[in-house]
Amino acid sequence: MGLMAFLPVLALYVQERFGIDDEAELALWAGIIYGAAPFSAAVAGPLWGAVGDAAGKKPMAIRANLAIAVTTALMPFMPSPLALLAMRALQGVLAGYVAPAISLVSEGAPKEVHGLVIARMQVAMACGSFLGPYLGAEATYWFGRTALFWIASGLSALAAVQLAVFAHEEQTPAAARGAFFASFRRDALGLVLHPVFGWLLALLLLLRLGQNMLEPLLALFVRQLGAEPWIAANSATPTLALDRTVAVAFGVLAVAQWVCTPWWGRMADRHGPLRCLAWLALGLGVAYAAMAWVTAIRPFLLLRAGIACLMAGSMTLAYAAASKRVADRNRTLAFAMVQSCIQFGLALGPLLGAAVAASGDGSVVFSRAFLAASALCAIAGALMFALRRATAQAPLAGTSGGASG
């Protein structure tokens, strides 16, 4: 909730804090700063995962929360966009909370309820994603936009205290830790070189690039369209109306996750996760193409709701598609690699979106970025259909045949 209080309006903070009036420059800085943390987290994540297997998941989860608390508290003191970029990158390197948290909550639970336990955690994360933007809008009105960083820092520190007091962990035997480090490089290389799983990772990255191209720029796009009329009528200031409209645009993602994710799971069981993921990607391609022609806030919010329903299935289907194509012994590592692809897409997509949207006269052409996102998603979907046809003849990744392939 704390992170989602400031991330949706990070572009507005960058403009207000550093006085950047050139729209193209602002879009570029917003994309780079937004993506710096997930990029560095994607690079450092496997290392922290290995350390977590050796030192324990609970210390890693506490460390990640404390790192988020400290780095977020320091962000308002950054004197330049470059310094803020460096702090966001440092936050990504030191953070990495989700993976040890999932491992921690599932480790102490019976295997027959792992799905329920992880689902509850995902619901909690969705609640944070839903409430965070609204918390940010109201806090900005009462205390200013800088206060969002103090709120995020405080909530992260509180989470660390809760983990220290209430979380329990069974320690991993030393022999198992040594075996993990010895096999990590071999297994990772075998998965990447597998003729099906390696391509699946590449297509997931392509999809996430398209899916995340516009996320850090949405606040700027909403400002261009104007606040939703009924929100403006019930807001004390235009800034509050804008922030509340941005909150709706991001909050709908969490609502869609609550409503649509179970449906996507049932569709995956019935028709296959990769086929469903391919149709999802094509649907995003159509929706982003339609978004390029939007000129009013209400059609934007309606299309955003449709995009949110599609996005709700992307992570579930990605993990399910990977799970069906790897041997049991490599499933955890495969999930970590899928997570890294998601993080890289979250990091590099905004950079690509800002570069495509920027024009020579300093303005931002959002329609161009929406069309580029549409093309990436559509290409990923089409290639996923082709990959699915090739899956039946390929061995599972992580078996002797898969590793040699």
Q: What is the pLDDT of residue 26?
A: 92
Q: What is the pLDDT of residue 112?
A: 57
Q: What separation in angstroms does the CA of 94 have from each of 34, 88, 169, 297, 363?
A: 16, 10, 21, 38, 35
Contact between 12 and 219 (Cβ < 8 Å): yes
Q: What is the pLDDT of residue 405?
A: 33
Residues in contact with 256: Cβ distance below 8 Å, sequence separation at least 6, in sequence order? 305, 308, 309, 311, 312
0.85 cut: is pTM over it?
A: no
Residues in contact with 202: Cβ distance below 8 Å, sequence separation at least 6, in sequence order? none
Q: What separation in angstroms does the CA of 289 have from each of 92, 370, 373, 375?
A: 32, 6, 8, 8
The terminus-to-terminus CA distance of the chain in angstroms comes to 43
User: Would you write out the chain's pLDDT as a tens digit for each of its 405 residues?
Assistant: 999 999 999 999 999 999 998 988 999 999 999 999 988 888 887 677 667 666 777 888 898 899 999 999 999 999 999 999 999 999 998 887 776 776 677 666 665 565 556 667 777 888 898 999 999 999 999 999 999 999 999 999 999 999 899 887 766 545 455 555 566 667 667 677 677 788 888 999 999 999 999 998 999 999 999 999 999 999 999 999 999 999 999 999 989 988 888 888 888 888 888 999 999 999 999 999 999 999 999 999 999 999 999 998 888 888 778 777 776 666 666 777 787 888 889 889 988 998 898 877 777 899 999 999 999 999 999 999 998 877 655 555 555 444 333
- Rounded distance, CA 197 to CA 216, Å? 30
Three-state secondary structure readout of 140-207: HHHHCCCHHHHHHHHHHHHHHHHHHHHCCCCCCCHHHHHHHHHHHHHHHHHHHHCCCHHHHHHHHHHH
Instruction: List the domain range (segments joined by +) for residue 179.
Output: 3-404
Q: What is the pLDDT of residue 257?
A: 86
Residue with tokens 């297997």, as numbered in its chain: 53
Q: What is the pLDDT of residue 181?
A: 58
- Rounded distance, CA 232 to CA 226, Å? 9
Domain count for the chain, please give it: 1
DSSP class of residue 110? -
Q: In the numeric block, which tokens belong to residue 200?
A: 């699946």
DSSP class of residue 396? P
CATH at residue 238:
1.20.1250.20
pLDDT tens digits for range 94-106: 887 776 776 677 6
Q: What are phi and psi of 364, to 5 degrees?
A: -120, 125
Contact between 217 and 8 (Cβ < 8 Å): no
Amino acid residing at 53: D
Q: Sort residue 32 into left (φ over 0), alpha (ψ -120 to 50) or beta.
A: alpha
Q: What is the pLDDT of residue 366?
A: 93
Residue with tokens 């590449």, as numbered in its chain: 202
Q: What is the pLDDT of residue 368?
A: 93
- Rounded distance, CA 359 to CA 82, Å? 22
